């Protein structure tokens, strides 16, 4: 009853959050938890870290506006599975505790009545960028400072800060709110780098969907890319491509800039916030705060680059990172993957399993065969019309570019070893490292759709548990049955399957 929202634990006082946000680049005003209800917090007995327990889809809240506060089974299954899949991949994320299907609850959406469900989800906090934006828009600066102090005291206890007698660019470096915001920038950059490394598209990167702690929240029309396409848009409601895969780092930076633009009241004295007859000293203080906040936002790019480079180096089995790796190693192979329409997850897994440094050509031929047996290009052009001049020219070009890249890869790999013999001697260990960095399984939209269909037909089905069991072990090879059911090629008619924000 508790996990379905039918009853609440004795002695608890559930709450919902009020927040605003920029949606698709425009200020949307108050939004709030329209169907999320927090039951309470628990604290780890050793680490003292907090976990907030929240129900999504249990009914109306004070912020539901004209909505019913419910969630459909379809979207609930997607969020339940994806949060756990992301955690297993090492991506900063909220977690899923349970999902309860409610067959008796018919939830009306644009396609008619659907079965209702409630997800119980976990996070250290559900406070968002938009939580601060809303308070700023209302000039509720005292509440804003109280909220910031709560976040810092509860979740950022290791900040090294001092109290300043005056506000200058130099003194602000140890201001607790500046230090906290820098941590928000760092956490957000690391989260986005993880997204890009695993091929995850969020779909709705509004500021109300961005956690102040830098964890992935609010799984809606997300997708793990099938065929690699940097311009891919997973949300069919995103007509301009604002939240395309390649745009995610830029949008995260934009969101951080929006957050930075409302933080002045945390740092400046109250007299500076009325914008009337500020003294010269107050004007200098405001300029100093603006300068430091802008500098903090700019730290996003180097932090993202550093984290992304580290994650990609692991995917390629490198022992070190180098400044030129992005331009000389990663970008060329990503462009080749795009041009040859290779599955993103499959590519890295296949490269992990094959010895690219065998002194014979047999291994290389096997790599190419495996890569392009699962590529759209090979299936639709090479195999369908093997005598086509265009197809043959394309295949020769792809093979040549891949071989050229392997030579660059081999040369770069040698930089991590004392000799070529040492490189070859480490082949098996390198293979194992790569297999632990490149998943066999990621959540696929067409497979989730199949799970949803099974559950809508029979809520007692074990379809969710079967898929969850695989997603929680993404780096394991899995049984033959699991590989056949969850690890195969995405069907042509299901590739790039998109979802909307409807839930």
The answer to whether 113 is a known catalytic residue is: no
- pLDDT tops 60 at residue 375: no
pLDDT at 366: 72
> What mean pLDDT, rounded, does the chain reach?
90
Q: Within 13 Å, how many C-alpha atoms sit on residue 320's CB side? A: 9
The total number of residues shown for the chain amounts to: 503
Mean pLDDT of 386-401: 65
Residue 118 belongs to what H/E stretch? Answer: strand 112-123
Q: Within 13 Å, how many C-alpha atoms sit on residue 282's CB side? A: 14
% of the chain with per-residue pLDDT over 70: 90
pLDDT at 385: 52
- pLDDT tops 50 at residue 220: yes
pLDDT at 503: 54
Write the DSSP symbol of residue 492: G
Annotated catalytic residue: which of 68, 113, 165, 208?
A: 208
Write the DSSP symbol of residue 489: P
The 3 state secondary structure assigned to 403-426 is HHHHHHHHHHHHCCCCCHHHHHHC
| Cβ atoms of residues 263 and 145 within 8 Å | no
Look at residues 257, 259, 159, 263 and name the one whose alpha carbon lies nearest to residue 211.
259
Domain boundaries, the chain: 129-296, 318-435
pLDDT classification of 454: cutoffs 50, 70, 90: very high
- pLDDT tops 50 at residue 389: no
| Cβ atoms of residues 395 and 379 within 8 Å | no
77-121 pLDDT, tens digit per residue, is 999 999 999 999 999 999 999 999 999 999 999 889 999 999 999
- pLDDT tops 70 at residue 343: yes
pLDDT classification of 491: cutoffs 50, 70, 90: confident
């Amino acid at each position: 009853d508790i996990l379905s929202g039918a009853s609440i634990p004795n002695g608890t006082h559930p709450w919902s959050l009020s927040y605003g946000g920029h949606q698709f680049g425009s200020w949307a005003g108050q939004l709030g938890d329209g169907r999320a209800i927090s039951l309470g917090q628990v604290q780890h007995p050793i680490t003292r870290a907090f976990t907030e327990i929240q129900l999504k889809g249990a009914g109306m809240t004070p912020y539901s506006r004209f909505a019913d506060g419910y969630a459909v089974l379809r979207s609930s299954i997607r969020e339940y599975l994806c949060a756990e899949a992301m955690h297993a991949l090492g991506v900063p994320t909220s977690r899923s505790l349970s999902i309860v299907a409610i067959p008796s609850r018919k939830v009306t959406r644009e396609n008619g009545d659907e079965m209702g469900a409630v997800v119980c989800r976990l996070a250290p906090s559900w406070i968002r960028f938009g939580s601060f934006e809303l308070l700023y828009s209302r000039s509720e600066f005292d509440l804003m400072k109280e909220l910031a102090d709560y976040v810092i005291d509860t979740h950022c206890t290791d900040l090294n800060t001092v109290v300043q007698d005056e506000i200058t660019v130099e003194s602000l470096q140890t201001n607790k709110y500046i230090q906290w915001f820098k941590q928000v920038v760092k956490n957000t950059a690391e989260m986005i780098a993880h997204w890009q490394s695993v091929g995850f598209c969020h779909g709705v990167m509004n500021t109300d969907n961005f956690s102040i702690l830098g964890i992935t929240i609010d799984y809606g029309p997300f997708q793990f890319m099938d065929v690699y396409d940097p311009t891919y848009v997973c949300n069919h409601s995103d007509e301009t491509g604002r939240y395309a895969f390649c745009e995610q780092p830029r949008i995260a930076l934009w969101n951080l800039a929006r957050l930075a633009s409302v933080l002045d009241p945390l740092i400046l004295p109250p007299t500076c916030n009325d914008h009337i007859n500020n003294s010269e000293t107050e004007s200098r203080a405001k300029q100093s705060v603006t300068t430091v906040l802008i500098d903090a936002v700019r730290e996003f790019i180097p932090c993202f680059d550093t984290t992304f480079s580290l994650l990609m180096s692991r995917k390629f089995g490198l022992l070190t990172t180098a400044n030129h790796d992005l331009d000389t190693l990663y970008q060329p192979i990503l462009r080749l993957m795009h041009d040859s329409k290779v599955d993103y997850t499959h590519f890295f897994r296949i490269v992990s399993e094959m010895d690219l440094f065998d002194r014979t050509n047999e291994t290389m031929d096997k790599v190419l065969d495996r890569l392009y047996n699962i590529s759209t290009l090979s299936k639709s052009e090479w195999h369908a019309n093997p005598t086509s001049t265009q197809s043959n020219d394309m295949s020769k070009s792809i093979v040549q570019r891949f071989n050229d890249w392997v030579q660059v890869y081999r040369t770069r790999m040698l930089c991590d070893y004392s000799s070529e013999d040492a490189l070859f001697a480490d082949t098996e260990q390198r293979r194992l490292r790569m297999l632990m960095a490149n998943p066999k399984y990621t959540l696929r939209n067409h497979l989730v759709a199949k799970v949803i269909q099974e559950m809508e037909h029979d809520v007692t089905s074990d379809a969710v548990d079967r898929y969850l069991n695989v997603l929680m072990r993404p780096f394991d090879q899995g049984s033959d049955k699991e590989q056949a059911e969850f690890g195969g090629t995405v069907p042509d008619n299901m590739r790039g399957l998109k979802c909307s924000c409807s839930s």
